Amino acid sequence: MLYIHQTSCISPQQTFEPIDIDTLRLSAENLLRAKEPVYHHVPPAQLRRMGKAVKLSVEAAMPLLQGRPAIDGIIIGTGNGGMDDSIKFLNQIIEYDEGMLTPGNFVQSTGNAPAATISMLTGNKSYNITHVHRGQAFENALLDAIMQTAEHPQKTFLLGAVDEISDYNHHIECLDGWYKQQPLLNKDLYAADSPGSMAGEGAAMFLVNGSAAGAIARCDKLQMFSSSDPEWIAEQCRIFVQEWLKEGDGVNLFLSGENGDHRLMPFYTACESALGSSTNIARFKHMSGEYPTASAFGCWLICEMFQRRSIPAHMIKKAGRQTAGRHILLYNNYKGVQHSLMGWSLV
C-alpha cells in the first residue's frame, strides 16, 4: 500500500500558502490558469529560463524536500510537458532556417524537464522517471510509486503531476471540440448543457512511502481502463468497490471528475448509479479545469478533505453530509476513452 505523508499544490484555486478551498476563485476568458506564487525556491537566474510547467513543479515540490533527508526517487506524470517551449523551439527552426538555435526552449520543452530540474536543484541522483500517458499520466506515475513502495516500504519518493495551458495546444483542443466556445464562468460549468469543458493547469506533489505512521491518506487500489462503453465502465466500478472494501464498509464519498462536457455524462451517471443512492457525490473540475493530469489535483483534494474532515460546499453534487468519511472513490475520465478508479482511505 502507498501512504501519502505531505502534499503541496499550485492550482487555479488558493491551494498554496495559504490554503483556502472553501472559496471558489472564478475563471477568466474561459480559462482556469494556475495562481502562480512568488517563486521563493528557485534562483532568479534560473527562473527566467524556466518554462511554466517546470516553474510550477519546482515551486510545488521544494517545500516538501527542503530541510529533510534526501528522498529515494522522483516520479512525475505529465500529459503535455512544456508545450509552449516545444512550439517556440519549432518556430526557431523555421525562423533561423535550421541555423544556430538557442537550446533553452528545447531543454525546457521535454516531458522530463520538471523531474530533472527538481533533481538538479536538490542534488538528488536517485530513481528519476517521468510518465507521459496523456489522460493516465498521473495514474501511471502513481502505479510506479505503489510498486516502488511495495518493494521498498521505508524508502520515500516524490510523486507528482504537472500540466500547463499552452496557447498552441489550447487552440488545437478548441478546434477539436474539447473546450467550450461560449463565454462561461467555472461556477456555471456543470449547468452548461453543451460539449466541451474548461481548460485548466497546475502541479500537485506528494511525499509517499510504505509506512502508515504519520500518514494523511492511503491508496488501497488503482485501476485504469480504456473503453467507450458507459455500462462496461459502471460494471468495472462495481467490481472495483467489491474488491476494495470489506463487507459492511461502503464508499463514503464519490469524487467525480465530471467536467461539464455533456457527451461524457453517461460515464459519470453510470458510475453514480453503480454506487447506489446513499453515496455522497462531489465534483472538482470547476476548481481545476480539465487537463490530462487533473486527477492529481483530485488526489490532493482528498488529502486536504481527510485532514480537515469536511467537504467544501461548492463541491457537493448530491447528499447533504459535509464529512469526507473514511473511504473516497475517485473516478476520472479523459476524453471519453481513458478512465481511472482510485480507492483512498483515511489512515
Question: What mean pLDDT comes out for the span 164-193?
Answer: 94
Mean pLDDT score across all residues of the chain: 92
Domain 217-346 of CATH type 3.40.47.10:
yes
Secondary structure class of 178 (helix, strand, coil): coil
Q: Which CATH superfamily is domain 2-209 in?
A: Thiolase/Chalcone synthase (3.40.47.10)
Amino acid identity for residue 125 in this structure = K
Mean pLDDT of 310-315: 95
Q: Which of 334, 344, 308, 324 is nearest to 142 (CA)?
A: 344
Report the amino acid identity of residue 126. Answer: S
In the prediction, which pLDDT does 169 show? 85
What are 299's three cell numbers?
488526489
Kindly report, residue by residue over 115-150, the tens digit of the pLDDT.
Answer: 999 999 999 999 999 999 999 999 999 999 999 999
pLDDT at 109: 57
At 121 the three-state DSSP class reads: helix
Does pLDDT of 321 surpass 70? Answer: no
Predicted confidence band of residue 102 (pLDDT cuts 50, 70, 90): low
Sequence spans of domains, the chain:
2-209, 217-346
pLDDT of residue 108: 57
| Strand, helix or coil for residue 91 | helix
2-209 and 217-346, same CATH topology: yes
